[in-house]
């Protein structure tokens, strides 16, 4: 879905995918959406919200909710600031952690890497 306005445009993109990493692996549940806003001045903001069902690093089935927000200029690297909620006791520290996200494009797939800041 996309709206083009005089001062920019907004689009909402439904997406699917998977999470792969040393502390969690899972599949994005239906309903994940990335809302992208582009201003006439080449500004860009994004806000993605999605839930992932999977397994934590202790082998327990669990869920993550991620809200990932970022802003910048079109064509420049976009750094995001994810917020996570989980029902995993092993991963609950992520709810209070300072996190940063990096968006890359690998093999024509959008990849979001989330890091815990030092």
Percent of the residues in the chain that have a pLDDT greater than 70, as a whole number: 100
pLDDT band for 98, please (50, 70, 90 cuts).
very high
Number of H helices, E strands in the chain: 0, 10
| CA 99/CA 33 separation, integer angstroms | 20
Distances (CA, A) of 82 to 1, 58, 69: 23, 23, 6
Average pLDDT, the chain: 94
Residue 118 has pLDDT above 90, yes or no: no
pTM of the model: 0.91
Burial bucket for residue 68 (CB in 10 Å: 0-12, 13-18, 19+): buried
């Amino acid at each position: 879905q996309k709206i083009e306005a005089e001062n920019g445009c907004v689009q909402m993109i439904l997406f699917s995918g998977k999470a792969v990493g040393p502390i969690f692996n899972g599949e994005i549940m239906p309903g994940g959406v990335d809302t992208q806003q582009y201003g006439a001045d080449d500004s860009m903001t994004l806000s993605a919200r999605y839930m992932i069902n999977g397994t934590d690093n202790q082998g327990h089935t669990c869920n993550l909710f991620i809200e990932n927000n970022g802003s910048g200029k079109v064509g420049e690297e976009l750094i995001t600031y994810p917020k996570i909620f989980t029902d995993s006791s092993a991963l609950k520290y992520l709810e209070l952690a300072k996190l940063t996200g990096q968006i890359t494009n690998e093999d024509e797939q959008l990849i979001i890497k989330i890091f815990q800041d030092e």
